[in-house]
Structure 1
Amino acid sequence: MKKIFFLLLTTSFSIAQTQNQKVKVILLGTFHYGATSDKNSIKFDDLFSEKRQNELDSLAKRLKKIGVDKFFVEDQTSNQKEIESQLKLYKSKKITDEKILKDEIVQIAYRTASINNAKIVAVDFKQELPYDKINEYEKIHDKEVNPYSFFDAENPFTAKRKKLVDTPLMEYYIQMNNSYTRQALLYDYLHYALAYGTTEDYTGENFTASYYDRNLKIFTNILRNIDLKTDKTIVVLFGASHTSFLRQFFENHPYFEIVELETIFN
């Protein structure tokens, strides 16, 4: 393994220079439609309305047009067979359970795969963040003043954003994945969390590192399922906080090229 690793280090630049074909990556950071109790769920009361279903049909057609080969979705790798079985049922219009249908994987990935035969791959890795350490630190230091004034800086993300109920779905997704929203999501991890700890105590850094670790495992699962010979365009359909981190990995990898949502959905 060491020999392989060092060989990769010494040849990575020459490989990158000769690799002309990059895999196009569409980072479709999403909210959860309500099938889960995730804190990033958003009330989507009109999901099954004619208007929203037409919007989802249009979204799927845009993804088909760009030629999506694979969807990488926020489901554990152990559920891959279940996804494949469920997709067959969806294509046959045999899924009637509203709880199943009320899932962004079904509404976007299954819908698109039913018209272009894209493959859907589960790549999530469940890993709990150490909230207990954060809560413990808060209790101990509740009445103390943070010795590092930098963390008292005002939150710069105060702009009002359009609400889902008032916004066309594709426009909402563009807003949800723009640089402003992305930085706002990262701010929790790269600013607020890092305020927890002093001197040799890195409680907050450990919290953020744990989330980096989970997303790096997700990224690893994606790489394990990429075929450079056949995969031209992929969609990563995950909660927007995940795609904000994953973007950093894709941007700095020589075999990928990010496609901005506004170039597809506008």
Structure 2
Amino acid sequence: MNTLKPILSLLILSIFFSCTNTQKPEEKTNEPTAVEPESSGIKVLNFATFHMGYSSDAHTVEFDENNKKNKDTIHQVAAMLAAFKPTVIIVEATPEYNGTLQGNYATYLKDQDAVFENPDEIELLAFEVGRLAGTKRIYGVDHKMEYNYNIGSEIVNSIDSLTINNFQADPFKSIPHLSLFEEGLPLMERLKRINHPKMLDFLITANADILTYAGTENGFEGADEAAKYYQRNLRIYSNLNRLQLGENDRLFILTGGSHTAFLREFMERDEKYEMVNTFDYLK
């Protein structure tokens, strides 16, 4: 019995210290907790559209830019978006065109009935958003580059012709409820669909990533064409970053859907910008 006493004493002490050093889940410590910092990025309304006038894109949406009903609907959309109160408008035009762009904008501010040759989403939507919001500055940030959407059909594809052919035969198969080419689709619904997050993801796939399934036995022809599209959008982003912007500026960016999609990817990782929810305005 005498030999058991020291062992029992050690066991009791061990249990005691174990209990006193175990923190209950509900107990608080003095350790600092991580606090999510408030965002101080430049606010951005990054808005996707289809091209409302002439476009060199491989796939375009049928749209009569001179139809009065279409114009009225676009102006309703503009009124919604103008509530964002942008101080700067960014459009899909090259910086070399900025002088003409700003001159046309000034003309529109003076006369909303001014007639522009071959009007598109810039004259129809961006100008009206700017007028309603009292925006003074407008810039183009586009960058043109040649790339081949159809490379898969022009080579002997040794990677996966089945996948790329099936995708191109029915591109909206995975998101049928968001198809942009549905007959009789109202303009407002079309704009809502093209701004849907799943659609923006799809547009990167359709314009670039799907080409990684095309290539000759030892080549990367499809991937190289996709890289050109990434490069173009990175250069667009670089043009955006060349602009002199202040922390209190608010950007309304209006571009074709695939550019909106890429800009979303870039800005989500960039502390300089903070994108607002498009559907807080497009209601």
TM-based fold match above 0.5: yes
1:27 aligned partner, one-letter code: N
Corresponding residue for 1:239?
256
Pair 1:67 & 2:85 matched: yes
For residue 204 of structure 2, the aligned residue among 181, 186, 191 is 186
1:247 aligned partner, one-letter code: R
Pair 1:255 & 2:272 matched: yes
Corresponding residue for 1:264?
281
Change (3 A) 1:77 1:185: same
Corresponding residue for 1:14?
none
Query: Which piece of structure 1 moves more, 74-83 or 173-182?
Result: 173-182
The correspondence of residues 103-118 of structure 1 with structure 2, limited to 5 A, is 103-118=120-135
Q: Is the 8 A contact 2:46 2:254 kept in 1?
A: yes
Corresponding residue for 1:11?
none
**CA distance in structure 2 between the aligned counterparts of 1:75 and 1:46, rounded to whole angstroms:** 18
Change (3 A) 1:80 1:199: same
**CA distance in structure 1 between the aligned counterparts of 2:82 and 2:100, rounded to whole angstroms:** 23
The correspondence of residues 90-239 of structure 1 with structure 2, limited to 5 A, is 90-93=108-111, 96-97=114-115, 99-100=117-118, 102-118=119-135, 119-130=137-148, 134=151, 138-141=153-156, 146-147=158-159, 151=163, 155=167, 156-157=173-174, 159-160=176-177, 161=179, 166-189=184-207, 191-197=209-215, 200-231=218-249, 233-239=250-256
Q: Which runs of 5+ in 2 are unaligned?
A: 1-35, 168-172
Greater C-alpha Rg: 2
Identity %: 25
Q: Which has the higher contact order (CA 8 A, sep 6+)?
A: 1
Displacement of 1:86 in angstroms is: 0.8
Corresponding residue for 1:30?
49
Displacement of 1:46 in angstroms is: 6.6
Displacement of 1:83 in angstroms is: 0.7
Change (3 A) 1:168 1:265: farther
Name the SS for the 1:254 alignment partner.
coil
**CA distance in structure 1 between the aligned counterparts of 2:104 and 2:116, rounded to whole angstroms:** 14
Corresponding residue for 2:12?
none
TM-score normalised by the chain length of structure 2: 0.73
Aligned residues: 241
2:269 aligned partner, one-letter code: N
